[in-house]
Amino acid sequence: MKKQTAILVTAGMLVGAGNLYLALQEDSKAMRSSYIENWAEIGKQTLTETLHAEGVVTPETEHHVYYDPKSTEFKGFLVKEGDEVQAGTPLFDYSSAAIDDELARLEAEADKLETEARLLEEQIQQLAYLQSVSDATTDDSLPVAGDGITADPTNDLLAVSIEKEMYDKQLEKSRVEAEIDQYKEQIAAYDSSGKLEASSEVAGSVKEIHYDLNNPIMTIISATPKVEGMFSESDLNKVEEGMDAYVKADLLKGAIGGTVTKIATHPEADPAVNKESQFPFEIQLELKDETIVHGTHVDVSVVTNQVVHAAVVPQTAISKGTIYLLNESGKIEKRSITKGLEVDGMTEVKQGAKPGERFVREPENVQQADSPFFSKLKLSSLRKNTFQEAGNRQLFKQILVGFFK
């Protein structure tokens, strides 16, 4: 241990004395060497450029229910404000003279068809009786020459005719019974009090009811939420429908994803010379298990550009379109790069450098391109086995290399 300490102390003294000597010489090579304390490897990162806006959570759809007082008579509401409804849930009932007349007509048609079905059944039974008589008559055969017998051809034709007639009557009866079922289904739509129910066409909750019967007499909002907000004029050339978006709020545990589904092509208010126009937008949310309340104010981030696994460096490491790389020969290399997306102080390197290469974080510390560099010795990275494996001769050689560099 003492031996290693002595070597380190001796090396430090030699390096310090040598650097001091060279630094005091005019046109010294040491003056052109760069002390690079802060460097790193070019990494990979996903850069996401976003546009921020404010929004509020609203129902995805509003369905208005109307009532016609001229042709119908209102009976009463069957739901109240705040009730959850499904498609087909009765909302209110009503009646009218026209409805009563229609009900009477349907019942008359059904009665007429039932009478027709009974008559067809009676005819089928009569034909069945004639068929049995025909079969009995066919058993009385006539003798002919030889050992065989022959039946009366008149009876055969009669049996075929009866069978065809029975088949046609049965088909007709089936058709009539099907029509009866249809009329009964229509009649079933009317309840015993003669009222007709108006049902909801959508699922959601009842937002508002006008008990004075002013149209729309009811508003149903969907259970699915959306986000509404405003884009400024300067935002319009950056966003478009179909872009991904994320919303955040104090009431939410994390961000909720969504898609920009609508951007208005006309401003919300009439344009004015001295006022910037605002353009409404809508975002459809991709909810899983999250619950978000209508009326919640949210922060909106629209993804306008994104690069996945981009080679990135800090913007501060770039000087006039170039970066300084530390190559394996121990020199500083000046490299021109093609910049891409710039987000939050990081710049995408599209061409000129690749991930894994070491770059100088502070280009102002570079004295001269294509010149040697030296960096701070990290004693914490030294290990005992490093000295043991290298040996005294190798250690001394490395010390001399560092001295003359």
Q: Which of 284, 306, 328 is the last residue of a domain?
A: 306
Spatial CB neighbours of 209, under 8 Å, sequence gap ≥ 6: 77, 79, 80, 81, 217, 218
pLDDT for residue 228 is more than 50: yes
Same domain flag for 190 and 256: no
Which tokens in the block code for residue 235? Answer: 């935002």
Give yes or no: residues 295 and 267 share one domain.
yes
Q: Where residue 226 falls among pLDDT bands split at 50, 70, 90?
A: very high
- Centre a 10 Å sphere on the Cβ of residue 101 and count the other Cβ atoms it contains: 10
pLDDT over 70 for what percent of the chain? 76
Last residue of a domain, one of 182, 199, 216: 199
Mean pLDDT to the nearest integer, 250-262: 90
Two structure tokens written together for 137:
């008559």
Mean pLDDT on 302-317? 94
Average pLDDT over residues 46-75: 90
Q: Residue range 318-344: average pLDDT?
A: 91
118 occurs within a structural domain: yes
| Mean pLDDT of the 99-103 span | 69
The range of the structural domain enclosing residue 155 comes to: 90-199
Q: Give the number of residues written for the chain.
A: 405
Average pLDDT, the chain: 82
Encode pLDDT of 169-222 as tens digits.
898 999 889 888 877 876 776 655 556 778 888 889 999 999 999 999 999 998
pLDDT of res. 288: 82
Q: Look at residue 151 and give its three-state secondary structure.
A: coil
Choose between 395 and 369: higher pLDDT: 369
Spatial CB neighbours of 118, under 8 Å, sequence gap ≥ 6: none
Quick one: tokens of 200? Answer: 């909801």
Q: How far apart are CA 10 and CA 235, in angstroms?
A: 65
Which residues does residue 150 pair with via DSSP β-bridges, in sequence order?
Answer: 142
- Could you tell me if 185 and 260 lie in one domain? no
Question: Within a domain: residue 76?
Answer: no
190/232 same-domain check = no
- Is the pLDDT assigned to residue 89 strictly greater than 70? yes
Are residues 193 and 98 part of one domain? yes
User: Into how many domains does the chain fold?
Assistant: 3
CA angle, 361 as apex, 47 and 402 as ends, to 5°? 145
Residue 156 lies in a domain: yes
DSSP state letters, 168-210: HHHHHHHHHHHHHHHHHHHHHTB-TTS-EEEE-SS-EEEEEE-
Chosen domain end from 199, 216, 246? 199
CA gap 17, 9 in Å, rounded: 12
What pLDDT, on the 0 to 100 scale, is given for residue 112? 92
Give 65 or 99, the one with higher predicted confidence.
65
Q: Kindly state whether residue 43 falls inside one of the protein's structural domains.
A: no
Residue 315 lies inside a defined structural domain of this protein:
no
At residue 140, the pLDDT reads 53
Tens-place pLDDT, residues 61-84: 899 999 888 877 888 999 999 999
Position 171 in a domain = yes
Give me the mean pLDDT over the 113-123 stretch.
92
| Residues 370-383, mean pLDDT to the nearest whole number | 70
Q: Residue 31: its pLDDT value, please?
A: 47
pLDDT at 91 over 80: yes
Instruction: Indicate the pTM of the whole model.
Output: 0.55
How far is C-alpha 321 from the geometric centre of its chain's CA atoms?
A: 39
- Per-residue pLDDT band at 150 (split at 50, 70, 90): low
Which class for 130: exposed (0-12), middle (13-18), buried (19 or more C-beta within 10 A)?
middle
Of 41, 38, 29, residue with least CA distance to 367:
29
Pairing of β 373-374 and β 34-35: parallel
The encoded tokens of residue 87 equal 């498609």
- Residues 66, 68, 73, 78, Cα dihedral to 10°: -10
Residue that wins the pLDDT comparison between 103 and 54: 54
pLDDT at 21: 58
In a domain, 386, yes or no: yes
CATH number assigned to the domain comprising residue 274: 2.40.30.170
Q: Establish if 209 belongs to a structural domain.
A: no
